[in-house]
């Protein structure tokens, strides 16, 4: 299923999002739905005033908006779009730097989440222990094949994205699960073909 994604093409928007508290707020709103600054503060172990400030910054760049009901700090906020993308080919140096900073922060957050999960998974039930895994691979691919695999992984994950907005579609026993995947050339092996078209590792 295709799912609309917001294209981030303004360095200021990328820089505004590249903050641990703001990413945490976005995650909470995506998972729990509309929340007030006070509710976010309780979940993130910070102050309502700090959450309010970050919410306003996110709103300035169109990442969140006011939801119905409440006033002041009792006013709920909601995310504008679940999907986002950046790091397009041919972008400006400024946009590339801002995108790299956001990507690094998000990867670091997900690696930390993986470490926490690995520390807890052996305390979980056998089905969840078996289902929770990670994989590492290297293989010889053309650029087209690498693109095909990356898109296939993304498309497969997107087949369940509607369960955020439609919780009634979540099967019994479903849990929130985190994924981080990338497919990139192994530049450290210098495997680019030479003038004769031969690869050398």
Give tens-digit pLDDT for 100-142. 999 999 999 999 999 999 999 999 999 999 999 988 999 999 9
Report the alpha-carbon distance of residue 150 to residue 132 in Å, rounded.
21
State yes or no: pLDDT of 147 exceeds 70. yes
Report the alpha-carbon distance of residue 95 to residue 98 in Å, rounded.
5
Domain boundary among 128, 154, 182: 128
The predicted pLDDT at position 81 comes to: 86
Domain boundary among 128, 157, 190: 128
> What mean pLDDT do residues 6-31 have?
94
Closest CA to 29 of 4, 8, 47, 54: 54
- List Cβ neighbours of 179 (8 Å cut-off, separation of 6 or more): 157
Cα distances (angstroms) measured from residue 104 to each of 97, 98, 110, 171, 177: 11, 10, 10, 33, 20
DSSP state of 196: T
Beta-strand relationship, 64-66 and 77-79:
antiparallel
Closest CA to 181 of 129, 137, 116: 137
pTM to 2 decimals? 0.84
Same domain, 70 and 156: no
Domain span holding position 179? 135-201
Domain boundary among 128, 147, 162: 128
Residues 58/26, Cβ–Cβ less than 8 Å? yes
Closest CA to 41 of 74, 81, 82: 74
Least confident stretch, 54-58, 89-93, 112-116: 89-93
Same domain, 49 and 82: yes
Same domain, 3 and 71: yes
State yes or no: pLDDT of 39 exceeds 70. yes
Same domain, 110 and 157: no
State yes or no: pLDDT of 98 exceeds 70. yes
Report the alpha-carbon distance of residue 155 to residue 175 in Å, rounded.
20
Give the confidence band of 165 by pLDDT, cuts at 50, 70, 90: confident
């Amino acid at each position: 299923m295709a799912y609309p994604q917001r294209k981030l093409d303004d360095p200021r928007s990328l820089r505004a999002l590249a903050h641990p508290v703001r990413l945490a707020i976005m995650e909470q709103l995506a998972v729990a739905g509309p929340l007030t600054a006070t509710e976010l503060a309780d979940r993130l172990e910070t102050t309502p005033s700090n959450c309010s400030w970050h919410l306003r910054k996110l709103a300035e760049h169109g990442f969140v908006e006011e939801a119905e009901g409440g006033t002041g700090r009792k006013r709920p906020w909601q995310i504008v779009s679940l999907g986002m993308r950046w790091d397009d080919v041919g972008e400006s140096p400024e946009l590339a730097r801002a995108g790299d900073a956001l990507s690094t922060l998000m990867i670091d957050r997900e690696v930390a989440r993986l470490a926490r999960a690995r520390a807890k998974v052996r305390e979980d039930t056998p089905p969840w222990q078996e289902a929770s895994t990670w994989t590492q691979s290297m293989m010889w691919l053309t650029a087209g094949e690498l693109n095909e695999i990356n898109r296939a992984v993304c498309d497969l994950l997107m087949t369940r994205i509607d369960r955020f907005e439609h919780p009634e579609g979540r099967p019994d026993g479903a849990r929130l699960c985190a994924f981080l995947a990338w497919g990139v050339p192994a530049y450290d092996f210098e495997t680019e073909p030479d003038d004769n078209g031969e690869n050398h590792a």
